[in-house]
């Protein structure tokens, strides 16, 4: 299983990415974690990276792409699968990672989009700031990261959608509910991958499920007051 995760900061890429990777027994390659590892190691590169992270700006493509190539090569020597989280963030990175994965013969099977509204994203990032104290989880830097996401990352979704490999999930729900839905979708797709050419596939949008079943679920399940 080869998955790219695409979502706003705070949407749960790290959490869901880890769970998906564990489920399929493939490495979870998270660009943010790889970059923070360099910063903690206090290497020269780490010191350069830190400035970008602290300002909420994107780290130069060359740095991120080199790190990811190394991780993909390691994954190729292992099972060949991966969950890549945090890349691509721009159309240029999308093209670069596509070229790289064609070259390595390990193009993504699925691009997973986690949909979360702006208010909830800010709430989650501020909550994480209290717990983890990440240097880029301050109100000002969060605003910059979200703006960059809207400007340069979100527009890539259309490209994947037209290639028929996008799976969109409503992620403003408890972690376990999101994981369950994602894993069901990926397991169903696993049967198709390799049998059907990408060009014959259709993107899957599950973000409406919430609204479709929401009313029924509320009627059917006890409210907090009743339980």
Among 52, 98, 135, 193, binds ligand ADP (CB under 6 A): 52
Query: What are the two backbone dihedrals, phi and then psi, of residue 222, each rounded to the nearest 5 degrees?
Result: -65, 145
Closest distance of CB 93 from ligand ADP, Å:
6
**Class of residue 176 by CB neighbours under 10 A (exposed 0-12, middle 13-18, buried 19+):** exposed
Percent of the chain that is helix, strand, coil (3-state, to 5): 60, 10, 25
Query: Using CA atoms, how far apart are residues 199 and 55, in angstroms rounded to an integer?
Result: 40
Closest distance of CB 139 from ligand ADP, Å:
14
Among 16, 31, 168, 179, binds ligand ADP (CB under 6 A): 31
Among 67, 72, 96, 136, binds ligand ADP (CB under 6 A): 136
Contacting ligand ADP within 75-104 (CB under 6 A): 86-87, 89, 93
Among 4, 39, 145, 168, binds ligand ADP (CB under 6 A): 145
Q: CB nearer to ligand ADP: give 53 or 178.
A: 53
Cis peptide before 88 (omega within 30 of 0): yes
- Taking a C-beta distance cutoff of 8 angstroms, is the pair 145, 32 a contact? no
- Taking a C-beta distance cutoff of 8 angstroms, is the pair 127, 21 a contact? no
Among 21, 39, 53, 83, binds ligand ADP (CB under 6 A): 53
Q: Which residues bind ligand ADP (CB under 6 A)?
A: 9-10, 13, 31-32, 35, 52-53, 56-59, 64, 86-87, 89, 93, 136, 145
């Amino acid at each position: 299983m080869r998955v790219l995760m695409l979502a706003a900061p705070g949407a749960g890429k790290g959490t869901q990415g880890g769970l998906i990777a564990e489920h399929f027994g493939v490495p979870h390659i998270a660009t943010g974690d790889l970059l923070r590892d360099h910063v903690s190691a206090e290497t020269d590169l780490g010191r350069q990276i830190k400035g970008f992270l602290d300002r909420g700006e994107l780290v130069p493509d060359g740095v991120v792409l080199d790190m990811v190539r190394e991780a993909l090569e390691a994954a190729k020597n292992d099972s060949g699968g991966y969950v890549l989280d945090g890349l691509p963030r721009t159309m240029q990175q999308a093209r670069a990672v596509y070229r790289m994965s064609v070259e390595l013969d390990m193009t993504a099977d699925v691009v997973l989009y986690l949909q979360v509204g702006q208010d909830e994203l800010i709430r989650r990032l501020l909550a994480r700031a209290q717990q983890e104290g990440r240097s880029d989880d301050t109100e000002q830097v969060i605003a910059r990261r979200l703006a960059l996401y809207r400007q340069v990352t979100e527009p890539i979704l259309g490209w994947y959608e037209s290639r028929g490999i996008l799976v969109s999930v409503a992620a403003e729900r408890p972690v376990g509910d999101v994981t369950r839905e994602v894993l069901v979708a990926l397991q169903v797709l696993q049967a198709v991958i390799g049998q059907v050419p990408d060009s014959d596939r259709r993107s899957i949008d599950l973000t409406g499920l919430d609204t479709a079943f929401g009313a029924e679920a509320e009627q059917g399940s006890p409210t907090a007051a009743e339980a």
